[in-house]
A and B are shown apart, each in its own frame.
Chain A
Amino acid sequence: MTAIALRGLNIAYAGTPVVRDVTLDVAEGESFALVGESGSGKSTVLKAITGLAPEWTGSIEVLGRPAAHHPDRKLARVVQMVFQDPYGSLHPRKTVDAVLTEALAIHGIGDRDARVEAVLRDVGLDRRFRFRYPHQLSGGQRQRVAIARALVLEPRILLLDEPTSALDVSVQAEILNLLKRLRAEHRLTYLLVTHNLPVVSFMCDRVAIMNRGRVVEIAPAAALHDGEFQDSYSRQLYAASGGNSPMESAGR
């Protein structure tokens, strides 16, 4: 079954078209990457799926159901998103506990204490962190909280918008390992936006390359091993990422 199906998707902000004619399928359980130029509309695609960018035409289907043009309560239990900036994505005056409990309260889910504890354990935060405010957390810990918020409703699809680009390499490694483990444990589907091709190589099965609002190519992640891309922009991106460098092929 396809988790996310986009057909001829056009997205605009206040009448200005930003994304044009995007068609792609993400299978259930797959980890799919969206890479491309800065400003090419990657985040916008994720926002359209969740209803945060309401001006779209074409079709978006999530697990076979058409998506709405606004954030949808029912969809919330199926799709969640993790934002790029761990500093901006948490309310400055709310504890970790308040953030996670609220998600459960909105959907009237009981047994909140146990669920909050479980999800914190899942993302590798021990109970000391449960009642802290964001300013008492490091960037990596904040990103874990954001992931916990996305997971607490037990969705089947996670949209990840550059989840590690604001983090240093050692923390990035921890978060990537965490995401990989969570996907295996909860059989999640990922749609991951990143600008880092090695992250795609580590995390994903397939990759779509975007340039100026269009998807120019969809390739298996294995293409990153040998640089077998069709489109010239993809090849350029691959080369700029040091894909052809001998240091890389030697595996350092």
Chain B
Amino acid sequence: MSARDWLLDESPTSRWQAGAGRAYAAARLLLRNPLAVVGGGIILLLVLTAALAPLIAPESPLGQNLSNRLLPPSSAHWMGTDELGRDIFSRVVFGARITLMIVVLVAVISAPLGMIVGAVSGYFGGWTDRVLMGLTDIFLSMPKLILALAFAAALGPGIENAVIAIAITTWPAYARISRAETMTWRNSEFVAATRLLGASHARIIGRHILPLCASSTIIRVTLDMAGIILTAAGLGFLGLGAQPPLPEWGAMISRGRTFILDQWWVATMPGLAIILVSLGFCFLGDGLRDALDPKGQAKS
């Protein structure tokens, strides 16, 4: 029996085989979508770059060499050097770590927070719903970047605070999505049946409702990643995110702005990195939507 047959077996013999089979089916759907494959490839590249940064980067991202100031791209410095003589390619490569960290931290903080708020709100309804959704709407009605700015300014500049500020501005969207999803499930018979087994509300929300909200939230988070990266870069650009000498892409653009007319590469190279990674997340998100969202399938 081949591995494929094992995965596609209609009658799996263990929990593990059933789960693997389902993941395999979803992965196959995803791989059939060319955009998703491109997006996934870009994200994979980002992760590998971040993990192997010291091996990839030819120079230290921080080591200054004032004799090499503002050199244009060449075979020695693929992306040129900046005003302190640092190799921009190396900085962009190390910057991948910071971007990835921001993205992961924001996702880890805001997605679960939003999902839980939304699920609790949709599941209980009534007063709980009104209070939680009122709160959500307040956050939702404020312009994201400005709110993030206000938080970053209040908490003080720095990368951790930038992450917190961005997370605070992104969760309301996930709360809305998972509330809508929860409302369609909360009255279903399997929820009633599970309550009759003696399950607590917490257990029902955690084990039964949240997994059903997960796919639409994951899709949305992936699609939002581009915006998150841009917001992080924006905060960096305004000096409220990562502080020098950290090679954060937005901060790098900000420094390069002074030379934009004569030494275009200083600001452009990190800009290209931002665009590439943002596009990668958008493609992947679109692909995930087609693969995971049953409503999307009905359309085709």
Contact = CB atoms under 8 A, between A and B. Distances in A.
Contacts of A72: 198
B197 A106 contact: yes
User: Which applies to chain A's interface (DSSP): helix, strand, loop or mixed?
Assistant: loop
Nearest to B12: A131
Given A95-B15, A102-B207, A131-B14, A52 B195 contact: yes
A11 B188 CA distance: 21
A52 B198 contact: no
B198 A90 contact: no
A153 interface: yes
B25 to A, nearest CB: 10
Contacts of B77: none
A238 interface: no
Interface stretch (A25-33, A79-87, A175-183): A79-87
A50 to B, nearest CB: 5
Contacts of A35: none
Contacts of B67: none
B81 to A, nearest CB: 52
A92 B208 CA distance: 10
A252 interface: no
A222 B203 CA distance: 45
Nearest to B21: A131
A52 B192 contact: yes
B17 A131 contact: yes
A128 B193 CA distance: 24
A230 interface: no
Given A83-B193, A149-B197, A93 B15 contact: no
A146 interface: yes
Contacts of A132: 10-12, 18
B189 A83 contact: yes
Interface in B242-280: none
Interface in B93-140: none
Contacts of A92: 212
B34 interface: no
B197 A146 contact: no
Interface string A52-79: 1000000000000000000111101100
Interface string A87-106: 01111111101100011001
Contacts of A103: 197
Given A93-B211, A131-B18, A136-B10, A88 B199 contact: no
B190 interface: yes
A128 B11 contact: yes
Given A80-B196, A131-B11, A88 B189 contact: yes
B28 interface: no
Contacts of A149: 193, 197
A153 to B, nearest CB: 7
Contacts of B17: 131
Contact of A71 (B10, B188, B198): B198
Contacts of B194: 91, 102
Contact of A88 (B15, B18, B188, B208): B188
Nearest to B192: A52
A157 to B, nearest CB: 12
B283 to A, nearest CB: 26
Interface string A144-184: 00100100010000000000000000000000000000000
B13 interface: yes
Given A95-B18, A129-B11, A106 B193 contact: no
Contacts of A97: 15, 18
* Pairs A-B, 8 closest by C-beta atoms: A128-B11, A76-B198, A73-B198, A131-B18, A89-B189, A131-B12, A88-B189, A83-B189
Given A71-B196, A88-B188, A107-B198, 12 more contacts: A52-B195, A71-B198, A76-B196, A80-B196, A89-B193, A94-B208, A97-B15, A102-B207, A127-B13, A131-B11, A132-B10, A133-B22
6 contacts: A52-B196, A76-B196, A83-B189, A91-B194, A133-B22, A153-B197
Interface of A: 50, 52, 71-74, 76-77, 80-81, 83-85, 88-95, 97-98, 102-103, 106-107, 127-129, 131-133, 136, 146, 149, 153
